[in-house]
Amino acid sequence: MRRLLLSALGAFPAGLRAAPAGLNGHAVRGGRPAAAPDDGLSGTGGTAPAPDRHRPSPGRGRGDTVRAWTELFRVSALFSVPGDALAGAAAVGRSPGRGTALAIGASLCLYEAGMALNDWADREEDAVDRPHRPIPSGRISPSAALGAAGALTAAGLALAARAGRPALAVATGLAATVWAYDLHLKHTKAGPAAMAAARSLDLLLGATATATAYAGTGPGPRATRPMRLGAVPPTGPDNVARAAATTGSLLAALPAALVLGAHTYGVTAVSRHEAQGGSTAVPLAVLATTTALAAAVLATQQRQRPGEPATPGLAATAPGSSHRPDHPHHPTAPATPDLGAPPPGTYRPSHHPHHPHHPHHPHHPAAPAMPDLGAPLPGTYRPSHHPHRPTAPALTPLLLTAFTGAYLRTAGPPLLHAALNPSPPLTQRAVGGGIRAMIPLQAALAARAGAPGSGLAVMALVPLARSLARKVSPT
């Protein structure tokens, strides 16, 4: 019997008598390969868990290629970009239009170009600190990432050129700042300032593109625009109007750009410690800055002129706005001077302006029409000083408070946690929270400028950004 059993065992192939090895050398248990120990580590030497990191799939199929590019571009952070242009358009007192759409497209291209260039420049560092990134893991070649950065930069500049030369000039400065940061400034003390300048320029790009587009079209069709007597009908954009619109838009949008730049400076300062951690002072300082920025945005509600309705925002006090006391239809507007009245201290009975037979008396049939001294010259259109800007709804202060509260809730708690425990995973969460907090901050800036509709449109991106952040890390 024993001989029979040994003979039967000898009939089996040798490969079936040995326990097969599983993937990566781990033995199979229960007919399935044993799971490899997933330590989920990141940071220098793999010493800290990375809760926001997503392991790449080991395959090389089409799905894995798409996922690799989404990780390279950090598409979950992409939703923080459109709000820059919308906040810029609101800062110049204009509704989003064709120029705003072109600015958003240019911003998206330049933002993604910076993401690809960032990973290309950090490929050697990521091979140690983040080996799961697309380039160190071999899923995307360095040349492909660099080529994508160049192509996206060219596309962004082309879209900005469609919005006008002023917008192209701002976009060129933005692209130069992005490339300078990724290639050199990132690892210097000027890194956070360069990143803040890039985000501020992005908001100014939206403001300039929107204002320039309106300067080229005017308040209505080109054929109905008033022109000076004897002027030749224009066949192209009014260069004078465009230059005035560019200067006015940059000045009007500068406060909002500085607020957004200050927030970006803080997020960048925290991100410099996300691989190793260990910094407590930086998250605390950024938390204080975040609180100060929120207070500055809300403080706009309290600064109102006497007799002016409670409408926050820079546009509510912009020259030519219907909320200004010097607007001709404002209840406290100054009286139009009587140009036919004699100088003070002079009395001439036969020329008294209030005599019913005086030609300048308002009830005289031949009385001349009084000019509107607050109106622009014929043929001149100033988009940032449009006299017929609609009144902001009374709901704007409530929305402004809600948006600012959402900004604090998104950025504040992760920063506090990172200050209490400056480990790499908590620092990375603080960076991710700071990136997502840009969306409610942009919405608050738009509402402050009297554009609650744009603020609501920006806030609609929050669920999309949160949902995609669960699949692709924004940092």
CA distance 202 to 264: 12
Burial of 380 (0-12, 13-18, 19+ CB in 10 A): middle
Number of Cβ within 10 Å of residue 12's Cβ equals 9
Is the predicted pLDDT of residue 234 greater than 60, yes or no?
Answer: no
Is the predicted pLDDT of residue 355 greater than 70, yes or no?
Answer: no
pLDDT band of 36, cuts 50, 70, 90: very low
Lowest-confidence segment of 3-17, 88-102, 138-152 by average pLDDT: 3-17
Is the predicted pLDDT of residue 111 greater than 60, yes or no?
Answer: yes
Q: What is the pLDDT of residues 173-195, one digit of tens each?
A: 999 999 999 999 998 999 999 99
Question: What residues form DSSP beta bridges with 138?
Answer: none
Quote the crossing angle between the two packed helices 239-271 and 281-299, to the nearest 10°: 150
* Structure confidence at residue 4 (pLDDT): 44
Contacts of 327 (CB under 8 A, 6+ apart): 320, 321, 333, 374, 387
Average pLDDT value for residue range 354-372: 51
Give me 43's structure tokens.
Answer: 């940071």
Is the predicted pLDDT of residue 453 greater than 50, yes or no?
Answer: yes
Residue 341 DSSP label: S
Average pLDDT value for residue range 215-241: 44
Average pLDDT value for residue range 74-98: 93
Average pLDDT value for residue range 139-166: 96
* Structure confidence at residue 364 (pLDDT): 52
Handedness of CA 221, 223, 227, 233 (dihedral sign): positive
pLDDT band of 341, cuts 50, 70, 90: low
* Cβ-contact 85, 107 below 8 angstroms: yes
pTM (whole model) above 0.85: no
Handedness of CA 179, 183, 184, 189 (dihedral sign): positive
* Cβ-contact 391, 322 below 8 angstroms: yes
CA distance 442 to 124: 35
* Structure confidence at residue 279 (pLDDT): 79
Lowest-confidence segment of 3-17, 55-69, 155-169, 382-396 by average pLDDT: 3-17
Give me the percent of the chain exceeding a pLDDT of 70.
Answer: 60
Is the predicted pLDDT of residue 333 greater than 70, yes or no?
Answer: no
* Structure confidence at residue 357 (pLDDT): 53
pLDDT band of 467, cuts 50, 70, 90: confident
Number of Cβ within 10 Å of residue 102's Cβ equals 26
Is the predicted pLDDT of residue 317 greater than 90, yes or no?
Answer: no
24 vs 178: which has the higher pLDDT? 178
Is the predicted pLDDT of residue 361 greater than 80, yes or no?
Answer: no
**Which has the closest alpha carbon to 92: 212, 268, 180?**
212
Is the predicted pLDDT of residue 318 greater than 50, yes or no?
Answer: no
Helix (H) or strand (E) holding 42: strand 41-42
Selection from 8-22, 377-391, 431-445 with the highest mean pLDDT: 431-445
Length of the chain: 475
Place of tokens 């000019």: 371
Helix (H, G, I), strand (E, B) or coil at 48: strand
Helix (H) or strand (E) holding 32: strand 32-33
CA distance 360 to 312: 41
Is the predicted pLDDT of residue 137 greater than 90, yes or no?
Answer: yes
* pLDDT mean across residues, the chain: 74
Handedness of CA 337, 93, 262, 111 (dihedral sign): negative
Give me 291's structure tokens.
Answer: 């609180």
CA distance 119 to 134: 8
Listed in order, strand segments (DSSP E) in 8-140 are 28-29, 32-33, 41-42, 48-49
* Structure confidence at residue 193 (pLDDT): 97
pLDDT band of 274, cuts 50, 70, 90: confident
Question: What residues form DSSP beta bridges with 122?
Answer: none
Give me the percent of the chain exceeding a pLDDT of 90.
Answer: 49
Question: What residues form DSSP beta bridges with 49?
Answer: 41
Average pLDDT value for residue range 405-417: 96
Helix (H) or strand (E) holding 28: strand 28-29
